[in-house]
Amino acid sequence: MEALLDVTADALQLMAVLFVFMVGLGVLAVIVMYIVDRLQTHHAVRRNYPVIGRFRYLFEHLGEFFRQYFFSQDREELPFNRAQRAWVYRAAKNLNNTSAFGSTRDLRREGTVIFLNCAFPKLDEEAEPIAALTIGPHARQPYTTDTFFHISGMSYGALSAPAIRALSMGARRAGIWLNTGEGGLAPWHLEGGCDLVFQIGTAKFGVRDELGRFDDERLAAVAAHEQVRMFELKLAQGAKPGKGGILPRAKITEEVARIRAVPRDRDAISPNRHPDIRSVDELLDVIGHVREVTGKPCGMKIVVGEAGFLDELCRAVHRRGVEHAPDFITVDSGDGGTGAAPMTLMDDVGLPLSEALPMVVDKLDEYALRPRVRVFASGKRINPADVAWALCAGADVVVAGRGFMFALGCIQAMQCNKNTCPTGVTTHNPRLQRGLVPEDKAERVAWYARNLIKEVETIAHSCGVARPRLMNRSHARVVLDNGRSVPMTELWPPARPRVDLTGEDAA
């Protein structure tokens, strides 16, 4: 008994010594911080309020977290609010997505889209399967898809290897394609066996020579993969129109550097545009060249800005012949997302999809280039209503990136550019990647796509059409700033076809 008491006393004495030691270290640390803060000249708050001023930066860092979980209402947060994310999470887990008691959505808010149900909606037995869509009829190997919702461009490097693996496997299970993004073709893209759209950014990662020009041998080698079905020439993306891709140095691993052929000691910054494309004629030359070398459809990704570009493009196509047209145009929204972009471009440049998509569709109608040129809609289309609106506006296909990131487990932590993503989606830190199990997340990717497609079909049947692509602008109204809604056809009436397709308006 005495021995036990002695041991206990010794333990308590040791704990007391450790406590005093820790307190001493804490006091010393505070003294050091006080001296450092007083002497430094970069931060006025810390210089005037040593030690205590440091809490200002801590609270600023934690602000996004507290706003997201404690202060923001369900439908007021940006870029995606809690209601939008919650729908994706439940769809990805294949959980019941019904709700009770009434909508929390403010239907008087400007820009709100209201779909017009008909008196006699389609019964389940009257519904029709999604019609197949063929892209690139003039390519040696046209591509046909039987769905309207796919995964947009997210490159390996911006996303982690486990995330790409999960997307690839999930896309195969759901029967949708995966866009590689501009970072080249990684083994993880091919692993799942899904159809792929190979994106060619301004740096031409994966298909360029040492000088950054097209390398036809590498281009043909990429096309030799049966899974690579189409090629997308990226002129711009919504988060940074007029600026090339940015991959921070912290996210350039040895493998990423090898695939992209870039050094690891600096950020990988792509040119602001393709150096070899200075006009619409050169643009069509490059699209035609890629289509000829690969034998597969080739289109382009744009952000709508200057008014004359679309007219110039359509006129050039008619001068050459419709077989020279891009096989598709991906219209990205000016409020699109990315892992890293200058805030001024993300906030202030490029038209949002709500304006850009009808504009592109109408311009192609005006020049009689529909359905030769398919239109893909991109930019914050992550919920069924978002996708249904794009189909009403005239899109053939809708592609989403961040919706599938949510399906992978993204919590909108806004850490994409820092290699510190807490869910493993956008980090190359092995410890953080461990939380993302590709086999599990692949199932969520597939369920998210399936459930979104199913609910878009529900909207279509409510509007009285047998399948989603039969929806048009007569099936929706848009709320104005006075709280009243007007038909979408009033905001975007049908385009007036041109008689003289060389460029002059009809009389």
**What pLDDT shows up at residue 20?**
87
Asked whether residue 218 carries a pLDDT value surpassing 60, the answer given is: yes
Residue closest to 311 by CA, chosen among 138, 496, 501: 501
Task: Say what the pLDDT of residue 506 is.
Answer: 35
Residue 175 pLDDT: 97
Residue 73 has pLDDT above 70, yes or no: no
Vertex 416: Cα angle to 408 and 58 (nearest 5)? 115
245: DSSP letter: -
Residue-level pLDDT at 507: 29
Residue 393 pLDDT class (50, 70, 90 cuts): very high
Least confident piece of the model among 92-106, 127-141, 352-366, 479-493: 92-106
More confident residue, 274 or 100: 274
More confident residue, 236 or 76: 236
Please check whether residue 451 is in contact with residue 461, taking contact to mean a CB–CB distance below 8 angstroms.
Answer: no
Would you state the pLDDT for residue 331? Answer: 97
Q: Determine the topology of domain 124-475 in CATH.
A: TIM Barrel (3.20.20)
Percent of the chain with pLDDT over 70: 91
Peptide bond into 326 cis (omega under 30): no
pLDDT 10s digits, 15-72: 888 888 888 888 999 899 899 888 888 777 788 889 888 877 666 666 666 556 555 5
103-120 mean pLDDT: 89
* 494's tokens: 């049908």
More confident residue, 328 or 54: 328
Q: What is the average per-residue pLDDT within 221-228?
A: 97
Average pLDDT of every residue of the chain: 88
Per-residue confidence (pLDDT) for residue 57, from 0 to 100: 66
Closest residue by Cα to residue 237 from 410, 396, 353: 353
Name the residue with higher pLDDT: 29 or 268. Answer: 29
pLDDT at site 314? 96
Which residues in 423-502 belong to E strands, given as ranges? 476-479, 485-487
Residues paired with residue 374 on neighbouring β-strands, in sequence order:
328
